A and B are shown apart, each in its own frame.
Chain A
């Protein structure tokens, strides 16, 4: 049946009509094949025009709509929604961008801009003639989530998911949960220790009926897609290894971080006695009684060197590890609290105790700690000095002059680096950033989702965070994972690729080009052909141009549709 198209040309309040003669555009396309209605409007996105479109669609029984206005990024979904409200399948809506691509781009050439706008609208009409109604792909989704990593983020996410009635598999590599909480003492700004925090979380975990806790467990196998992931988990126990298969609708990765290990000789580490890292110092402090003694030396003064392994001027780790300034200041305050006579010297690159943590920095200043701000060009030089240690650095706050402190102990404030074990990231093909932490889709708009549908990330596996921020991201990732599994089914975008089996001769080119592992080989009556997983395909189109036999089409962007548009534009 022949399509009945309605065309709307927007003035965008002058943004378009000041340069493009929209009346001329309307006159040029109103007699195109299939067009039964053509209008200009001051604001296509305005409520009154949306209502007019609704009425037009119903009264004229329109089977396709084109709006020529701004970028589809702005209003594609607006007009798709108008179509749906009027009872027209939203995939019959086609958008033409005559603002960014015509009026704004060619404001110096009104005639040219108008001609280009006419062509763009005609091309959109050509596509609209061929557009087909589509229905979303509906797949079943398991009401269960695998949380990988039992640190503070994993624990909090598991509890949160369980309370939303999802079945949770909490998979921990270690023999106990808690992760780095075991190493943390006072966690600023509250005076709560890592142990105390862990006790609360462990108590919660015990009370949650929906959580299956799997310790000494590692994920070794992975297949499937959103709604239906299959994981193989190796469990090492006292009776040896066993393997378990679990089936989940979503995976939440919370595998955490490692503390940076300084290289031998980095600020005297492993070469000068009494140069240790923050985690080592924490342990020392925890196990000390009346006096702070290290290597048989009573400690009277301590120098802390900040940004070791972070914000490196010459190394790979350009990022700030966020938690270490606060952790260092807190550790030094704990020292002062336990041993008031000890003098602390802080060699920083600028203190970043942001937010409420600023208060402990102020407290630290108040109790008499001395801060030296060194320059990238003149990092601290650590040498032995008369039974103690000399730390020299150019001090930005003292007109960049060199300044020296003599200390009995040097603590290197080491930052965060990604987990040494990269097997999980490789298994899931999780993309990593330049900092080698896992990458989200969009730092601000989609902060816990990964490009693999159904896999979310939380905590420090994504990048340095303090406990509070790890918990925030864990709650957020839990909510996102829950949204994938909560309804029992998932609606997926129908614009995906499909294979013409008759002409396909499996050559693997499409499979290699696919960034989402959506192509696989199947046997079709004795012939090997490609097939596309409808749940994993994102419709990116990477497989189309590499196919030597032109056997792959992308729904809604078929060869026929694209060629018809090109024909108009190239006329």
Chain B
């Protein structure tokens, strides 16, 4: 038995879902959803849990991660309850729930908090540069070190514990019995979904978005690899330099299209942008653009006279690595993949 908790609905509104109270449970959303199945039926069931404030079941549910937001549910909702945005908000709420630091929740709910955090990180970068007397060589070397440390640190301190919490909430706490072998056998599912987002292809008319997203993921991971492990900015290898140019350009083009979509609001998925959505696409765009420009300035040998550009790039990078990756929308990438993995674990 669960007790109705109207406060939950009010809390969820801060994560972006404002209309779901209008739902009269007709189930049109579930009927039109091309990913909903008999076993994993949504979004209506999630709307209902949100309305009655059944926090425990929501925390244990993987369904929000099974949705790829094609928006058909919201387009067809006769009450304009916007179930698609509810699913998105539930993902935000879950990310906050999984996060042991509690910072995700703050940043999702408060734009002011996010801006303060972003500004603080930028100031940190400038202060560090001033401390190093704007010596470009030292700063760039530190920047490279920072990238590696940040990735390792964020994973070790934030993301891995959070994944463990997600595992606890969705598998252990609900008392699901999973054999060790099952964990091994299902790993394939995890990797496939992490790198291909295969499930999103199940959404109707989603091929273009899926393809763009696929290119973006591959491009982003390649850029990460190129800058961190191949030391793009320091490399002399023509292969590495060209690869870096190509992938940063790819990121730039794809994210530009995503930003444009959010500005135009012509698709359901891009109609209801929360600050976290904006930060994600804009910072991704900035990363691509600034990385491209930095390398270009290096090749043109004018970076020494335009130190600001590298500092700008480093600030964007630091904000990305310290705020958006651990506490923002980036974690979608991780949680979704694990959700698919955990979902596979419990399939008999």
Contacts and interface: CB of A to CB of B under 8 A. Distances in A.
A414 interface: no
Interface string A362-378: 10011110111100000
A498 interface: no
Interface string B43-84: 001001101101000000000000000000000000100000
Contacts of A401: 1-2
Contacts of B51: 370
Nearest to B2: A403
B4 A403 contact: yes
A438 interface: no
Given A361-B24, A398-B49, A403-B52, A368 B9 contact: yes
A399 B49 CA distance: 10
B122 to A, nearest CB: 40
Contacts of A404: 1-4
The CB with the most chain A CB atoms within 10 A, among B3, B49, B54, is that of B3
B1 A365 contact: no
Interface in B1-34: 1-4, 6, 9-10, 21-25
Contact of B52 (A366, A367, A398): A398
B22 A362 contact: yes
A370 B6 contact: yes
Interface in A319-361: 343, 345, 351, 361
A397 interface: yes
A372 B51 CA distance: 10
A518 interface: no
Contacts of B45: 399
A351 B23 CA distance: 13
A402 interface: yes
The CB with the most chain B CB atoms within 10 A, among A351, A371, A373, A397, is that of A397
Given A366-B22, A368-B6, A403 B79 contact: no
A451 interface: no
A25 interface: no
Contacts of A403: 1-4, 52
A268 B130 CA distance: 74
Given A362-B79, A397-B48, A343 B6 contact: yes
Contacts of B2: 398, 401-404
Nearest to B25: A397
B202 to A, nearest CB: 24
B287 to A, nearest CB: 41
Contact of A365 (B4, B21, B48): B21
A392 B1 CA distance: 9
Contact of A405 (B3, B9, B22, B79): B3
A385 to B, nearest CB: 10
Contacts of B54: 398
A131 B223 CA distance: 106
A121 interface: no
A368 B23 CA distance: 11
B6 A365 contact: no
Nearest to A361: B24
A368 B48 contact: no
Nearest to A366: B22
Contacts of B49: 398
Contacts of B6: 343, 368, 370
A482 to B, nearest CB: 43
Contacts of B23: 365
Given A365-B22, A366-B21, A406 B3 contact: yes
B42 to A, nearest CB: 12
Nearest to A303: B4
Contact of B1 (A362, A366, A370, A402): A402
Interface string A402-423: 1111100000000000000000
A405 B2 CA distance: 9
Contacts of A392: 1
A373 B4 CA distance: 13
B60 to A, nearest CB: 14
Nearest to A390: B3
A328 to B, nearest CB: 16
A370 B52 contact: yes
Contacts of B25: 373, 397
Interface in A439-475: none
B3 A365 contact: no
B127 to A, nearest CB: 47
Contacts of A362: 22, 24, 79
Contacts of B21: 365-368
Contacts of A345: 4
Contacts of A397: 25, 48
Interface string A150-161: 000000000000
B85 to A, nearest CB: 16
A405 B6 CA distance: 10
A395 B21 CA distance: 17
Contacts of A402: 1-2
A522 B79 CA distance: 71
A351 B24 CA distance: 9
A318 B24 CA distance: 25
A403 B1 CA distance: 5
5 contacts: A362-B24, A370-B52, A372-B52, A398-B49, A403-B3
Given A370-B6, A403-B52, 4 more contacts: A366-B22, A372-B52, A398-B52, A401-B1
Interface of B: 1-4, 6, 9-10, 21-25, 45, 48-49, 51-52, 54, 79
